[in-house]
Chain A
Amino acid sequence: MTEPLVLLVEDDAGVRRVLRTTIEAQGCRVIEAATGADALRRMTAERPDLVLLDLGLPDRDGLELIREWRGWTAVPILVLSARGDEATKIRALDLGADDYVTKPFAGGELLARLRAALRRNERRGAPPVFESEGLRIDAAARLATIKGQPVKLSRREWDVLRLLVLDAGKVVGHRQILEKVWGPAQAEQSQYLWVYIGHLREKLEPDPARPRFILTEPGIGYRLVRGEDEQG
């Protein structure tokens, strides 16, 4: 397998240098773009396997780039954004970004997201199975086991869990889940979600008060992660 090609779109040279070093250490090749125009050109010319996009670019709004790319490519897009700007993150996800990393970020977190996105990209079409620390969830077969013991889940619980398993490692927004499970009319009814996520945690988490698998992204949604990934 060839090394994955990452397009790094970031206007600050210092940050670019650190990111390039970090990503290359993971066995990826990196091409850089400092402006939106440059990014568009490189995207068409070099067809990277993943895009790491800083939304604050000197010439264009990063959100516009996402919209444009999503018109013709499904390449995983990771957005770099600041804490406290949940609204922008949600818009980026709505426009089709795959995930976000909050700046300033620890290298570990960034790489975990990066790997998860690349893995999803590789596994596209593979059966939706999630495995971590003795927990196994087969969303196609609707079978969940903890250390081999089956866990019984209701239909709604499966509906929610399936979305998380399909996009394992990636944040899934509240609205996405509500629309897909309860229908577009219920998109604002976050209390449903609260109830069912609670159920799932009770049934799947070793300590529901401090979840390891079903993580809450405050203000945005939920993320199903492998326990071992998060500790890295």
Chain B
Amino acid sequence: MQDDDGRPAPEALLAEAAAERRGKLKVFLGAAPGVGKTYTMLEAGQARRREGVDVVIGVVETHGRRETLAMVSDLEVLPRREIDYRGRQLEEMDLDAVLARQPRLVLVDELAHTNAPGSRHPKRYQDVAELLDAGIDVYTTLNIQHLESLNDVIAQITRIRVRETLPDSVLETADQIELVDLTPEDLIKRLREGKVYLGDQASRALRHFFSPGNLTALRELALRQAAARVDDQVVQYMRAHAIAGPWPVGERLLVCVGPGPSAPRLVRAASRIAERLHARWFAIHVETLHEQHLDEAARDQIHATLRLAEQLGAETLSLQAADPADAIVAAAAERNVTRIVIGQSRRGRLQAILRGSPVDRLLRRVGPVEVHVLPDIEGGEVVASPRWRRPGPIDPGPFGWSGLMVAGITGLAHLVAGAIGPGTPTLALLYIGAVTASALSFGLLPSLFTAIAATLAFNFFFMPPLYRFTVADPANILTLIVFLGIAVLLSGLAARSRLLAERARRRESDAATLYAFAAKLAGVRLLDDLLWAVVHQLALMLKRGVVLLTPDEEGHLLVRSGYPPDDRLTEAERAAAQWSWDQGRPAGRGTDTLPGAERCFLPLRTISGPVAVVGLDGPAPSGDVRRLLDALCDQAAVAIERIRLADDLDEASVKAQSEHLRGLLFTSISHDLRTPLSSIMGAATTLRRDGEKLAPAARDDLLLSIEEEGERLNAFVGNLLDMTRLESGALEPRRQWVAMSEVVATALRRAGRLLKAQEVKVTVEPGLPPLRLDHALMEQVVINLLDNARKFAPAGSVIRIDIRRRGDRIETDVTDEGPGIPAAERAQVFDKFYRIRGGDQQVAGTGLGLAICKGFVEVHGGRVEILPGPGDRGTTVRIGLPIDPMAPAPPEVSDDD
């Protein structure tokens, strides 16, 4: 975080912004039960209600205390949800009811409470988080002993381990903490008066809890916690408001998590250190070769520890390496870690001497990083260790093969011994070959077996006295010992390299899987095909049933694809899927949320948000599979988004076009309606007010402009109506026999008033047949063309109309002497609202004229073309209309019938 330039740190501002959107969390923190947290919370709630805030009670335990009950008095209490659990009726806060009620502030007692099985979240603080996300303020209560990071300390002080714990991060996100303080003496007094509720069984252990010493310690912890929190808020505020100060520069802490039972303790300790240092911290687990043999319970424990670290605010990493020390040093360097916390190794002393303990190696390589080594207090209760795990069923095959190999080598050695004599080390070398081969092909145990078998065979068959397991020559004893030593060492080395090769192969196969998946998805163009490909590939790779859900228009998640095809979801599954989509986190079986569901659901997310939810049969996978799955999901999400974006782009361009058109329509209408209107209104008001004073010529001028602008307005409205008629598709031409020349004639008559500035010359080829036309429509075509020509042609120029026959068509050319239309624009001029010069210029075009011409002519089976005028001057618009073979012959002027 850079503060030296005096600008607010972006992260701090972001945190503030996020806090603004969310509801505010206020925690009433107490040192022990009975200090009056609930009472204080209710009191505060009442105060807010008096201020006019909409306050409801989500859940409050009054434990029948009169004062507390009185405090509830007229606050609205939401009914609780009844959950049937093994025949017992449990009551929990009805989260959905609160969300539906949408109060401004909700009071929720006992933040650390564990919900009854079957609830949406296992923990109440998760309910509260959802309320906050929904923008609802929450008041809640908490006893200090429930705080995760203090769990160990408190257990040590009170000798009671509290089961219901709350991640520290929850308290950290609280916007306000109010310490409800009571001196130990007062509390004990209240206890004696029976004012403290201690659950149904007020056991002696619990009474021990309330010893003055314990209470004092707890009170101190609570006070310190509250004080630290206030500190944090001050720091946060000062950062957000760019107040300079000596901020500790990014301490970063990394804790190494192993499979032992003390790992959670280690993580909590690290969390406390990180908290003290205000450090960002990481929890790392390095899976070594040995740990590949860990049983499920041990793996789960590692997973649980990492999750605990996450809850305490750490970022977690899981790596695989042959040497954990190397991996830890590399990870630490990559993240600029300043301190490493590690538990003391419990390796055998022998190994520590041979290879050095991981801690030693870490210390040797780590450089300037501070390393905290914590002792392994609970070392006695080893539950899982890679070395002493109960051996699984051993596959006898490798041992058989190894035995055969030793026997074979023995036979071979006999032949060699026959040639060069017994007792030579050469023979031992042959056995070494067998050990190496066994180690490389079968692993550690078979190769150790081989080493021993080989030693025995060597001794039995080739060392005097022969065919006995005794050794006569002391020198040979040394040979045997050296042989065994080398064999064991070799088997270890070879087995190790075999494991490394296997690991490399697995990595490679993961990479290949990812690559194949990406390749499969890359080619797909249709969303449905893509979803199917995703589901199919995931199902093949994970060997589980897979469903994929995306939301419909209303936001309900629907199964869009499934392999094997199955789109039925239980209510719990539906809820888990929805929650996973909403919160962007896994839900369902094997997770914290709705673990009762049959399937687990993972969100497919990209930077821009969730795109789908994938559901897998069975629990959420962990470890290697989970990492691979996450990578696959990322790819799938990106692929889905890619297709969505492509679709959106198509849609957007269509939309942009219609928006553009609407924009043009708007400009056109406002221009073409308002301009003449303003002239008319201006002229009319002037005439009315100053009519008397105006010279007759000026008055005529105004009157003329009213008339002309009225015409213009009329023409525009006419065009709009024509366009509407055309676009409604209801236009049916009323055809009659009529000569094109007559159409031109009536058009000229109607447009006569417009054509004052130019001369119109009409030439008609004699003897043309009539056409079957809707005279009114075609007249409008000619008028629009004349109107266009008039606008672009200079005053005093000639507009020519030529009517002639070309094959089976009659062509009518309207040619002006204007500036002409560039070839590139000729096709566009038929577009609605297209103006050749565009905008608000002198030449006012409706932009509709030519579009209407095209429409009307096409209704008659004809066509309109834009051509350069003769000699490339001006523009010719050519209307071509087909001649009906049934057309009557043109009239011949005759005097009789």
Contacts and interface: CB of A to CB of B under 8 A. Distances in A.
Interface in A159-203: 174, 190-196, 198-199, 202-203
Contacts of B764: 209
A86 B738 contact: no
B776 A219 contact: yes
Interface stretch (A64-72, A116-124, A148-156): A148-156
Interface stretch (B335-343, B650-658, B743-751): B743-751
Interface in B685-735: 707, 710, 714, 718, 721-722, 725, 734
Contacts of A219: 734, 736, 774-776
Nearest to B750: A218
B746 A84 contact: no
Contacts of A191: 737, 770, 887-888
Interface in A200-221: 202-203, 209-211, 215-216, 218-219
Contacts of B744: 209
A44 B896 CA distance: 50
A195 B897 contact: no
A216 B420 CA distance: 133
A87 interface: yes
A194 B739 CA distance: 8
A147 interface: no
A122 B775 CA distance: 33
A104 interface: yes
Nearest to A199: B891
B776 A198 contact: no
Nearest to B764: A209
B308 interface: no
A15 interface: no
Contacts of B779: 218
Contacts of B749: 210, 215
Interface residues of A, number: 29
A210 B776 contact: no
A106 to B, nearest CB: 7
A152 B737 CA distance: 26
B741 interface: yes
Given A84-B718, A84-B725, A215-B749, A194 B897 contact: no
A218 B746 contact: yes
A202 B764 CA distance: 14
A210 B745 CA distance: 5
A154 B736 contact: no
Interface in B852-897: 887-888, 890-891, 893-897
A86 B893 contact: no
Contacts of B43: none
A194 B775 CA distance: 12
Contacts of B775: 216, 218-219
Interface in A130-164: 152, 154-156
B83 interface: no
B762 interface: yes
A208 B366 CA distance: 109
A202 B893 contact: yes
Contacts of A192: 888
Interface string B482-511: 000000000000000000000000000000
B762 A209 contact: yes
Contacts of A196: 891
A154 B891 CA distance: 13
Interface extent on B, as a size class?
35 or more
B895 A152 contact: yes
B721 A84 contact: yes
A154 B896 contact: yes
A203 B743 CA distance: 20
B718 A155 contact: no
Contacts of B300: none
A194 B746 contact: no
A193 B739 CA distance: 12
A221 to B, nearest CB: 10
Nearest to B887: A191
A154 B897 contact: yes
Contacts of A193: 737
Given A174-B736, A195-B891, A156 B897 contact: yes
B742 interface: yes
Contacts of A83: 718, 776
Nearest to A103: B714
A210 B737 contact: no
Given A84-B718, A209-B764, A194 B893 contact: no
Contacts of B893: 199, 202-203
A104 B714 contact: yes
Contact of B707 (A87, A106, A154, A174): A106
A206 B894 CA distance: 18
A199 B897 CA distance: 11
A156 B512 CA distance: 95
Interface centre among B710, B742, B770, B897 (most CB of A within 10 A): B742
Interface centre among A83, A156, A192 (most CB of B within 10 A): A83
Contact of A211 (B710, B745, B774): B745
Given A209-B762, A211-B745, A216-B775, A155 B891 contact: no
Interface string B774-817: 11100100000000000000000000000000000000000000
B897 A198 contact: no
Interface centre among B725, B736, B893, B894 (most CB of A within 10 A): B736
A194 B745 contact: no
A194 B888 contact: yes
Contact of A218 (B739, B776, B897): B776
A154 B742 CA distance: 22
Nearest to B886: A191
A152 B893 CA distance: 11
Interface in B204-233: none
A216 B707 contact: no
A215 B774 CA distance: 17
B722 A195 contact: no
Which 5 A-B pairs give the minimum distances between C-beta atoms? A218-B775, A191-B888, A191-B737, A219-B776, A195-B891
Given A191-B770, A218-B779, A219-B774, 9 more contacts: A86-B776, A191-B737, A191-B888, A192-B888, A194-B888, A203-B893, A209-B764, A210-B762, A219-B736
Interface of A: 83-84, 86-87, 104, 106, 152, 154-156, 174, 190-196, 198-199, 202-203, 209-211, 215-216, 218-219
